[in-house]
Amino acid sequence: MNIEIANRLVQLRKQHGYSQEELAAKLGLSRQAVSKWERAEASPDTDNLIMLSRVYGVSLDELLKTDEPIPEPEPDKGVKVTINGKPLRFNKDDGFFFSYGDDDENCGGSTVDADSHVTARGNLVIEPNEKSVWQEFPFPIFVTILYLGLGFAFGLWHPGWILFLTIPAYYSIVGWFSGRRRHCFLRAFPYTLLVAIAFLCMGCIWGLWHPGWILFLTIPIYYAMVKPIDRAYRRRRGINAIEIERDDDDDDIDDD
């Protein structure tokens, strides 16, 4: 309670000729409670305010009326969010965008539309739904047409079917260049799939099943060499140590 309302309570009590004891008796309270109200040390609750308005014959608005202007609400300044010490700013003028970078207003940054999938778990992971030209390219249809052309024109139904194994490899590589860069390119590169394709080509075309199988021995060597490069890459991108360790543990489990 502010001092102006407290003084008004004193004024109303004296205008009606009540002492603090008499007013307290009417309200069923102690004199100390009334005294605290009038010294602005406490505020009457809703029930007591209603009783006071009835005793004095005034409305609640008149009872609590003050000359102090009602402050205008401050404009919403939003909430400042930082990621690894850098500000994250939102702009909803044209859809839903954010910028991530330096504090200056016109700094460069990343943008995603309102339909993008954004998750945060210690850091920011962005998976834009807007597809690039290469992702929109109907690669499976292209492979099918190429396979049919090789089959009808040259009778290469076998081993032409191996072309279909390039489809997941294509989207894995294109997806990385389109923004899914949680890992470095060497780690995201579908090396295991490419080894399988090379092995099938060597076996089906040239009959080199042996020693072509030796190619599979290069897979653990490849990922052992790429692992420290990938860790350095993710540290540069601000992925926290806990997630790096968790991903490394997952990789170890997959290797086992």
Percent of the chain with pLDDT over 70: 66
3-class DSSP state of 216: helix
Once rounded to an integer, what is the mean pLDDT over residues 44-63? 85
Least confident window among 92-106, 145-159, 166-180, 241-255: 92-106
Question: According to the model, what pLDDT value does residue 95 have?
Answer: 45
Question: According to the model, what pLDDT value does residue 89 have?
Answer: 59
Q: How far apart are CA 74 and CA 68, in angstroms?
A: 17
> With bands split at pLDDT 50, 70 and 90, how would you rate the model's confidence at 105?
very low
Q: How far apart are CA 161 and CA 226, in angstroms?
A: 30
Which one has a higher pLDDT value, 25 or 129? 25
pLDDT score of 38 more than 50: yes
Question: According to the model, what pLDDT value does residue 151 have?
Answer: 94
CB-based contact 186:229 (threshold 8 Å): yes
The domain at 3-64 falls in which architecture?
A: Orthogonal Bundle (1.10)
Strand pairing of 81-83 and 117-120? unpaired
CB-based contact 16:27 (threshold 8 Å): no
Once rounded to an integer, what is the mean pLDDT over residues 91-96? 48
Q: Where in the chain is the domain with CATH 1.10.260.40?
A: 3-64
Question: According to the model, what pLDDT value does residue 120 have?
Answer: 39
Q: Name beta bridge partners: 126.
A: 118
Crossing angle (nearest 10°) for helices 46-56 and 20-27: 120
Give 1-28 pLDDT, tens digit per residue: 678 888 888 888 888 888 888 888 888 8
Question: According to the model, what pLDDT value does residue 212 have?
Answer: 93
pTM value surpassing 0.75: no
> With bands split at pLDDT 50, 70 and 90, how would you rate the model's confidence at 126?
very low
3-class DSSP state of 208: coil
